[in-house]
A and B are shown apart, each in its own frame.
Chain A
Amino acid sequence: MLLVESNFVIGVVWEGRRDLGYLVDICQRFGVLLVVPEVALAEARKTLIHRVDRQLSALQQLRFWLNDIARGVGMSQLVLKVKERLDVIEAELQRRKQLALEALDIFAQNCFIAPPTPHVWVRAYLRWQSNMPPFKELDCLILESLLAFLPQHKTKLAIFLTLDQEDFDHPELHADFKRHRTSMLFEPYAVIVEFRKFYGVA
């Protein structure tokens, strides 16, 4: 079982990282469960569409000022032409936004989702309020989603790969995962090495 977080999702879907894609491929071909917290998927979704939404919002602003400009004598026809082009750009941005979301959906369909249950929300909130690692609110939710998921799905090999070493590399968190016989690693290559050892091809 390979547990991952938002950086992994964005790395595969958005950045086209080969090392992470390779890990997804291994998971599929070896029947390794690829587990993503639902919160991490939501964060990735927000990240992917945030930029496009900002561009769409800028177009709206532009339209507002064009309406203002169109009030001048002889300007309305000129503005109309610009607005027609803006409509084309907006339609294209909307289409691309849908494509990005579709890509994320396809990724999600090939993963096992760790849901944010009420129990997870409460524990994450308490962890965040108590200023315990990983400190950030979303990271606490990701962590608690995984810690709640692990006891229900025991496997011979369980690894949590996070690319966010800065926030997750704390002795308490290593101990939390160790209690569930799970190792926390920060490098995709370290996961590959563990897979090779496990399957006896090291």
Chain B
Amino acid sequence: MPKGKASKSLNRRSRRKLTEEQRRLLMMEPEDWDFSQNEVLRKIHELVSAWPLEVRRQWAEEWRKEHRQGK
């Protein structure tokens, strides 16, 4: 068997060695995922919660508009 072919199949096999938790996460739809599932992101979310989400999104949209008009 050519050397290249063997290493390719080995790579494929090693890629598939996922834990059940990893597999579940990867197959999940993003809208089913929640910030509470990740400690770091949960903390970030808490820190910015002093502003309501709609307000933050509006500010971000204004920034994007400025960015589009910028040089």
Contact = CB atoms under 8 A, between A and B. Distances in A.
Contacts of A21: 33, 35, 38, 41
A22 interface: yes
Interface residues of B, number: 39
A150 to B, nearest CB: 20
28 contacts: A10-B63, A12-B44, A14-B60, A16-B35, A16-B45, A18-B33, A21-B35, A24-B41, A25-B25, A25-B33, A28-B40, A29-B21, A29-B22, A29-B25, A51-B59, A99-B50, A103-B43, A106-B47, A137-B71, A156-B11, A189-B30, A196-B27, A198-B15, A199-B15, A199-B22, A199-B26, A200-B16, A201-B26
Interface of B: 11-12, 15-16, 18, 21-23, 25-28, 30-31, 33-35, 37-38, 40-41, 43-45, 47-48, 50-51, 53, 56-57, 59-60, 63-64, 67-68, 70-71
Interface of A: 7, 10-16, 18-19, 21-22, 24-26, 28-30, 47, 50-51, 96, 99-100, 102-103, 106-107, 110, 135-138, 156, 164, 166, 188-189, 192, 195-196, 198-201
